[in-house]
Structure 1
Amino acid sequence: MKKLTSADSLITINHYKNLLASEGIRCEIRNEHLGSIMGEMPFVETWPEIWVVNDLDFDRATQLIRSVDDESPTSPWRCKKCGEENEGQFAACWNCSASAD
């Protein structure tokens, strides 16, 4: 068993776990409940960690996690109705609620 990574967010670690599970890679989350003692220990030692059960899956798991982390967000877009610029992750204009399509 090898430690793959840690993160300050349990949501991120669970996302990684779901990604790995969908690819047939068994893993475990450790330090899941240590956030409650943050301040008593160095904060990075309380972060949740994801561990790959089978060492032979470690390289593939690393590549999968990197591919998720390296994804760039969608490009910003300009609303056709009101002309406002919107960040790429939004499907509707923040100003007038017009669809990005």
Structure 2
Amino acid sequence: MKLIYTHENRLLVELAKSRLEVAGIAVKLKNEFAQGASGELAPSQAWLELWLERDRDYEHACQLLQDAEAEQIGWSCLDCGEDNGAAFDYCWQCGKTRPAVSKD
């Protein structure tokens, strides 16, 4: 088993877990109930951890999580230069469509 992701925010770990499971990658959560020991442990030792059940899935899992992170990055409108959040498919300033992201 290999550690693939850990974070203090449980929601982000659960989202990573869901993305990997949808892709057919078997994962396990560790430290689910470690919050109760947070006074005895360093805070980062109580974070929820996501572990791969098969080491051979590591490269594919890393790529999936990198792609997910890239989807959350904002973008700049090519027409007016306005910065837009990742959730916007259209520029909120001028209404132009978000440019397509190339997958090289």
Q: TM-score when scaled to structure 2?
A: 0.69
Partner of 2:40: 40
Alpha-carbon offset, residue 67 of structure 1? 1.5
Check 1:31–1:87 CA distance in 2 against 1; reply closer, same or farther (3 A cut): same
Task: State the alpha-carbon separation in 2 of the partners of residues 5 and 49 from structure 1.
Answer: 6
Alpha-carbon offset, residue 50 of structure 1? 0.3
Check 1:27–1:75 CA distance in 2 against 1; reply closer, same or farther (3 A cut): same
Partner of 1:58: 58
**More displaced 10-residue stretch of structure 1: 30-39 or 52-61:** 30-39
Question: Residue 28 in 1 paired to residue 28 in 2?
Answer: yes
Task: Give the conservation status (yes or no) of the 8 Å contact 1:2–1:51.
Answer: yes
Shift >2 Å, 4+ stretches:
73-76, 85-91
Question: Residue 17 in 1 paired to residue 17 in 2?
Answer: yes
Identity %: 27
Q: TM-score when scaled to structure 1?
A: 0.71
Question: Larger Rg: 1 or 2?
Answer: 1
Check 1:68–1:90 CA distance in 2 against 1; reply closer, same or farther (3 A cut): closer
Letter in 2 for 1:73: G
Task: State the alpha-carbon separation in 1 of the partners of residues 9 and 56 from structure 2.
Answer: 26
- Gaps (5+ residues) in structure 2? 90-94, 97-104
What whole-Å deviation, never above 9, does each CA across 1:29-67 have from its counterpart, x for those lacking one?
100111222122101110000000011111100111112
Letter in 2 for 1:69: E
Secondary structure of the residue that 1:63 maps to in structure 2? helix
